[in-house]
């Protein structure tokens, strides 16, 4: 095994290839530890603070080791960054003949079959959707990959993409008449042949569990799996090890069947009629919950008068639909596929209504336009551990936030790593940033308890003088959407009264990408947001100098999944707060705090309003897990720190 340290040396290949490259001791140690784990087929769980340079720390040993490597990241954005920027940079610096491939879930690739079918039907809700589909058609003729990220003319959330891509349910596989032009198959072939394949966690689990996305063949061939942003894995695994049936899946099935009927069985009016009845049954089930968006246990949902009858009506509509579709299915591959989907959906719905499996949490999630019936496993450790017990290979789990202090017990138990033989290697590397010089942690004095009726008002009062001292340049992160909207209102009012004309942005006013672009461009904006901006958001430089967090991020106690896990842990004689809720809150808080200091030049204030961080013994666990910033409870200190920063570069 060769030592990666010389690669990072001042006169090494990375310094020669990358302008301004400077190795950090933590980065070199991390690379060495990963090289050892890959060489010994070990499991390594590694926390590396912001600024360690963990991407290069795992890419260098991965490329030096030879063999096949799968790298899984938290998001598609990170995937694209790895594939388009970081991997080519390191490969060129090391001068190694390594082939690389990018593999995403099928919904990211244009599907020639569905695009042609839906463009021919030509029925769209808006003129914009029709124009978008025409733009996708032009893109499909010109693209080599079919990856929708490359189609910049059409917004990522355009409804036209639903008509131009396939899902696991409606893909015809080898029976598809367009199989030769299939971009998904092409991406899979490239991944099979490549030495390094970049995927994301959703794809990894969709595949490992569902054998769906082409990695069922990839995994046996690989020597190492590296999970970046590994703190997201327990949540993602829960999602994929469970089952769900949603009203939007039912509507999609009805729409696809109508489209296939018009193409291959136009004379079967009964099937068109039944597809409309199925849609109505799905919509009626969603309407049981009126305008609310909520999460409920199956028992809570059953207390709603209309829930059980509407669920029964949906099952009956699905059964009748199945009977009629069965008479037409042999007329085309598309109709045969719709029949298979109908059967699978009926079975999932029946299992949800009459569960056989005891260790499942049954719950309902209600969205603005749809409803999902979910069955989530109580714990994912057994299923995940089975993956690790297979073919010997290295498994690397890394993130800036995995440990509570230096303890990985919570994380290792959640993923079943705690029971491995030999036990996993674990390591924590702190950030190389000088937090004592660069940042101040401010905990306002005299805050009411978080459940007090005037708490949100107190948060806005604490935030306003800091926002004014920082001249904008702030994230205000809230733990609930209701608090977010109220804080936004109060800050808008406060800025207007003080005559501070700062741009004020609110999560939901545009996509996350658009809001971040506006925030960076303006240079003096205030963004009020909730959980979706707590992680994976990078605003280096002067545009962000203040992060205000309203409360310690404990999951709401009435969340049905949390409530079931708490009950299960209590039955096992464990303390759910100590073993589950507190570690999760610490990891989430570290993510939120991590937004502030992104480079060696960044400076700023982290304000955590929640008085429990100071007043409760468990709050001190959070306090001690945060980076070693200077700390104060005096508002004047925080204001002075912010006023001393250079003024914003842009106010445009």
Q: Where are the domains of the chain?
A: 5-104+185-239+379-429, 106-181, 242-369, 435-643
Please name the residue ranges forming H helices in 143-245: 160-164, 183-193, 201-210, 215-221, 233-241
pLDDT in tens, 598-644: 888 899 999 999 999 999 999 999 999 999 999 999 999 999 999 99
pLDDT in tens, 278-323: 999 999 999 999 987 889 999 999 999 999 999 999 999 999 999 9
Same fold, 5-104+185-239+379-429 and 435-643: yes
pLDDT at 86 over 70: yes
The span from the CA of 146 to the CA of 612, in Å, is: 50
Place of tokens 């999630």: 365
DSSP 478-545: -SSHHHHHHHHHHHHHHHHHHT----EEETTSS-HHHHHHHHHHHSS-EEEE-GGGSSS----STT--
pLDDT in tens, 324-379: 999 999 999 899 999 999 999 999 999 999 888 778 899 999 998 999 999 998 88
State the burial class of residue 523 (Cβ atoms within 10 Å of its Cβ: 0-12, 13-18, 19+). buried
The span from the CA of 19 to the CA of 9, in Å, is: 14
Question: For the stretch 321-343, what's the b/e string if a residue is b when 16 or more beta carbons lie within 10 angstroms of its beta carbon?
Answer: bbebbeebbebbbbbbbbbebbe
Q: What is the dihedral sign for C-alpha 148, 153, 156, 160?
A: negative
The span from the CA of 450 to the CA of 615, in Å, is: 12
User: Which H, E and C letters describe 491-502, residue by residue?
Assistant: HHHHHHHHCCCC
Q: What is the pLDDT of residue 282?
A: 97
611: DSSP letter: T
Q: What is the pLDDT of residue 216?
A: 55
pLDDT in tens, 18-67: 888 888 999 999 999 999 999 999 999 999 988 899 999 999 999 999 88
pLDDT-derived band at 651, boundaries 50, 70, 90: very low
What does pTM read for this prediction?
0.85
The span from the CA of 497 to the CA of 475, in Å, is: 20
User: Which H, E and C letters describe 544-602, residue by residue?
Assistant: CCEEEECCCCCCCCCCHHHHHHHHHHHHCCCCHHHHHHHHHHHHHHHHHHCCCCCCCCC
**Cβ contacts of 283 within 8 Å, gap of 6 or more:** 247, 251
pLDDT in tens, 409-433: 989 988 889 888 889 999 999 889 8
119-128, 224-233, 546-555: least confidently modelled range: 119-128
Q: What is the pLDDT of residue 215?
A: 45
Do the beta carbons of residue 157 and residue 239 sit within 8 Å? Answer: no
- Pick from 187, 179, 180, 30: nearest CA to 105: 187
The CATH number given to 5-104+185-239+379-429 is 3.40.50.300
pLDDT in tens, 148-180: 888 888 887 788 888 899 987 788 888 888 888
**Among residues of the chain, what percentage have pLDDT more than 70?**
97
pLDDT at 14 over 90: yes
Top-tier CATH class for 435-643: alpha beta
Do the beta carbons of residue 506 and residue 486 sit within 8 Å? Answer: no
Residue 87 tokens, joined: 């991997």
**Among residues of the chain, what percentage have pLDDT more than 90?**
58
Terminal CA-CA length for the chain: 53
pLDDT in tens, 97-152: 999 999 988 889 999 998 888 887 766 668 888 889 989 999 999 999 999 888 88
């Amino acid at each position: 095994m060769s030592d990666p340290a010389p690669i990072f040396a001042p006169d090494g290949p990375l310094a020669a290839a990358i302008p301004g490259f400077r190795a950090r001791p933590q980065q070199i140690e991390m690379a060495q530890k990963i090289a050892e784990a890959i060489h010994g087929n070990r499991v390594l769980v590694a926390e590396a603070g912001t600024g360690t340079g963990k991407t290069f720390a795992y890419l260098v040993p991965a490329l030096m080791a030879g063999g096949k490597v799968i790298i899984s990241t938290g998001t598609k954005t990170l995937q694209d960054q790895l594939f388009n920027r970081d991997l080519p940079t390191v490969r060129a610096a090391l001068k190694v003949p390594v082939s690389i491939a990018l593999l995403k879930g099928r919904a990211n690739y244009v599907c020639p079959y569905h695009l042609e079918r839906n463009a021919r039907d030509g029925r769209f809700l808006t003129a914009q959707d029709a124009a978008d589909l025409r733009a996708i058609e032009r893109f499909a003729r010109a693209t080599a990959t079919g990856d929708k990220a490359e189609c910049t003319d059409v917004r990522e959330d355009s409804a036209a993409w639903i008509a131009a891509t396939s899902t696991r349910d409606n893909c015809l596989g080898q029976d598809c008449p367009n199989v030769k032009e299939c971009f998904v198959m092409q991406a899979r072939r490239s991944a099979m042949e490549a030495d390094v394949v970049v995927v994301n966690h959703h794809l990894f689990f969709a595949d490992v569990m569902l054998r769906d996305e082409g990695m069922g063949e990839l995994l046996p061939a690989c020597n190492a799996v590296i999970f970046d942003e590994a703190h997201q894995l327990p949540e993602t695994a829960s999602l994929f090890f469970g089952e769900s049936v949603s009203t939007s899946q039912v509507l999609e099935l009805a729409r696809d069947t109508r489209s296939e009927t018009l193409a291959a069985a136009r004379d079967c009016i009964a099937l068109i009629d039944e597809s409309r009845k199925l849609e109505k049954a799905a919509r009626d089930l969603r309407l049981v919950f009126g305008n609310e968006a909520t999460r409920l246990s199956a028992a809570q949902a059953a207390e709603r008068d209309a829930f059980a009858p509407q669920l029964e009506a949906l099952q009956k509509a699905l059964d009748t639909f199945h009977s009629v579709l069965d008479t037409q299915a042999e007329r085309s591959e598309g109709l045969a596929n719709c029949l298979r989907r109908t059967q699978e959906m009926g079975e999932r719905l029946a299992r949800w209504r009459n569960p056989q499996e005891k260790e499942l949490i049954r719950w309902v999630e209600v969205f603005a336009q749809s409803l999902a019936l979910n069955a989530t496993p109580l714990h994912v450790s057994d299923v995940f551990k089975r993956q690790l017990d297979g073919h010997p290979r290295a498994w690397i789990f890394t993130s800036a936030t995995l440990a509570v202090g230096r303890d990985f017990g919570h994380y290792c138990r959640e993923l079943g790593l705690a029971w491995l033989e030999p036990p996993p290697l674990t390591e924590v590397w702190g950030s190389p940033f000088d937090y004592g010089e660069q940042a101040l942690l401010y905990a306002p004095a005299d805050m009411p308890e978080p459940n007090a009726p005037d708490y949100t008002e107190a948060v806005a009062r604490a935030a306003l003088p800091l926002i004014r001292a920082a001249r904008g340049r702030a994230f205000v992160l809230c733990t609930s959407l209701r608090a977010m909207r109220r804080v936004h209102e109060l800050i808008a009012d406060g800025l207007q009264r003080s005559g501070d004309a700062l741009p004020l942005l609110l999560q939901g006013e545009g996509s996350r990408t658009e809001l971040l672009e506006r925030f960076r461009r303006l240079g003096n904006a205030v963004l009020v947001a909730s959980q979706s901006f707590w992680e994976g958001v990078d605003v280096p430089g002067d545009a962000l100098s203040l992060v205000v967090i309203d409360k310690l991020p404990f999951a709401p106690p009435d969340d049905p999944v949390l409530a079931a896990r708490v009950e299960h842990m209590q039955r096992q004689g464990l303390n759910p707060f100590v073993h589950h809720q507190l570690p999760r809150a610490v990891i989430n808080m570290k993510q939120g705090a991590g937004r502030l200091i992104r480079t060696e030049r960044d400076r700023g204030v982290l304000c955590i309003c929640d008085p429990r961080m100071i007043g409760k013994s468990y709050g001190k666990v959070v306090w001690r897990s945060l980076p070693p910033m200077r700390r104060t409870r005096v508002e004047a200190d925080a204001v002075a720190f912010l006023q001393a920063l250079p003024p914003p570069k842009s106010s445009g």
